[in-house]
Structure 1
Amino acid sequence: MPAGREALLAAARRAFASQGFDAADVRSIAAEANVSPNLVRVHFGNKAALWEACLDAIVSESRPVMEAIRRIATDPSRALAERLRETILRGGEFYAAHPDVRDFVTRSSTDMPERAERLNTLLLTPAYESSRELFAAGIEAGIIRSSHPALFFALVTAALNQPPAFPALLNRLAPEIDIASARDRMIETVVATLLHLSPVDPSDQPQQRSRA
């Protein structure tokens, strides 16, 4: 039973991300999870509660990276440029590990107002607040060239949140960029492009990032 619940959650996340709430079908979700449709009622009650459970799971997965970013943002022992760079890297690593989050958020943001508001309250606002003051400091220092931290947050999120097929597509455009390193190189390019650092600042050398 617990395995069936987890299988339903995984299949439902993919369905809601690719099709949206209205188009996602409970029977199709159950079939992909290889369980009986009755298990949706047993574990969740209905499709709306299944969507809520998917959102709760994404929030739980996001919480550690948001807490890590908050710690980075408020660490006075580290230079501002270093903290900004590390924040972007952490975000890129999260999206690489959770490729379905991008489409789930995109689809749900245009869904019924109640679900869009739940998404905003539980996920988007906490994610923004974890980095808002750090981005504001970056704007004040001239490292970030934006008029508002929310604009920069949205830009970074969009830049990092590439679809799973991104490495293969990039490799077709530039065969010299191998698929295995494509996502890391993309994240480093986002850092180098969006953060305006002094040439003498060691944080301006993304290719030197430790792989440890």
Structure 2
Amino acid sequence: MARIDEPAGCVRKRPRGRPTRDRPDGRQGLLRAATYAFAAHGFDGADIRSITLAADVSPNLVRVHFGSKAELWEACLDAIVAAAQPTMAEVAALAADPGQPLYDRLRAVIGRVAAFYAAHPDVRDFVSRQGSETPERAALLTERLLRPAYETTRALFAAGIAAGIVRSSHPALFFALVNNAVSQPPAFPTLLNRLAPEIDLAEARARMTETVIASLLHPTHNSVRAPATPAPKTRPNRCPAS
């Protein structure tokens, strides 16, 4: 199967015989190829023939597994939502953890969102493309993905604003800013390394996340847990000399 990060039109010859372990089944291959196509070219620009070629399957499998191009698009959205569910659960738990200072929770949430985008590079382009196309698809995208993701962070971001750690007038604005800042494209490490060769490719994303956190969060005196003060050493009681 052609990888989704390969250039458009790059199609490998289909090997004969039964699928090997490293080749996904037809449905999963279609979902991967279609998600990339919808992200890169939009709904109208993505055509079924190119998707099935990239997935290395027969075109009739779209009808077999999904029924239509519109249903294939909706299945891609469902797959993205399913992939995002573990991260949203982690973010919700972090946001509500009373045992951590507010600044630490905000920092951890931004880091977790950045890790999600690093693992799912097509999500940013899929969201930005489909969110600006037809109102029907934008509404589905909002209700199934964006609104649930926002709701996991809304109260935390509002608390950050109230505490002066987050300098924004509304948690939704900060939510959009964070997601845009940490969802760098797959080529980001290489491009950054060309600008600054001293930044190692393997460290590029981690260093960008730290930069985003340092730029967007402004800890106050009471927002960071103070280091524990060791108990003073006491000298053992001694009996007075007789």
- Give the structure-2-normalised TM-score: 0.81
**Structure 1 position 15 matched with structure 2 position 37:** yes
Q: Report the Cα offset of residue 200 of structure 1.
A: 9.3
1:40 aligned to which of 62, 76, 79: 62
Q: Deviation string for 1:10-32 (max 9, x for gaps)?
A: 00000000000001000110011
How many Å separate the matches in 2 of 1:147 and 1:200?
A: 21
Letter in 2 for 1:132: R
2:137 aligned to which of 100, 115, 122: 115
1:68 aligned to which of 75, 82, 90: 90
Give the match for residue 89 of structure 1: 111
**Structure 1 position 142 matched with structure 2 position 180:** no
**Structure 1 position 54 matched with structure 2 position 76:** yes
Preserved CA contact (<8 Å) 2:26 2:55: yes
**Structure 1 position 104 matched with structure 2 position 131:** no
Gaps spanning 5+ residues in structure 1: where?
A: 204-212
Give the count of matched residue pairs. Answer: 203
Q: Report the Cα offset of residue 197 of structure 1.
A: 1.4
1:185 aligned to which of 207, 225, 228: 207
**Structure 1 position 27 matched with structure 2 position 49:** yes
Letter in 1 for 2:75: A
Secondary structure of the equivalent of 1:108?
helix
Q: Deviation string for 1:42-88 (max 9, x for gaps)?
A: 00001000000000000000011111111111111111001000000
Deviant stretches of 4+, over 2 Å: 198-203
Give the match for residue 79 of structure 1: 101
Letter in 1 for 2:63: R
How many Å separate the matches in 1 of 2:166 and 2:81?
A: 28
Letter in 2 for 1:164: P
Gaps spanning 5+ residues in structure 2: where?
A: 1-18, 226-242
CA spacing shift, 1:165–1:177, aligned 2, 3 Å: same
Name the one with the larger helix percent: 1
How many Å separate the matches in 2 of 1:148 and 1:177?
A: 34
How many Å separate the matches in 2 of 1:187 and 1:150?
A: 20
How many Å separate the matches in 2 of 1:32 and 1:78?
A: 46
Letter in 2 for 1:50: L
How many Å separate the matches in 2 of 1:77 and 1:110?
A: 40
CA spacing shift, 1:201–1:125, aligned 2, 3 Å: closer
Letter in 1 for 2:167: R
Secondary structure of the equivalent of 1:187?
helix
**Structure 1 position 153 matched with structure 2 position 175:** yes
Identity %: 63
- Structure with greater Cα Rg: 2
Q: Report the Cα offset of residue 198 of structure 1.
A: 4.2
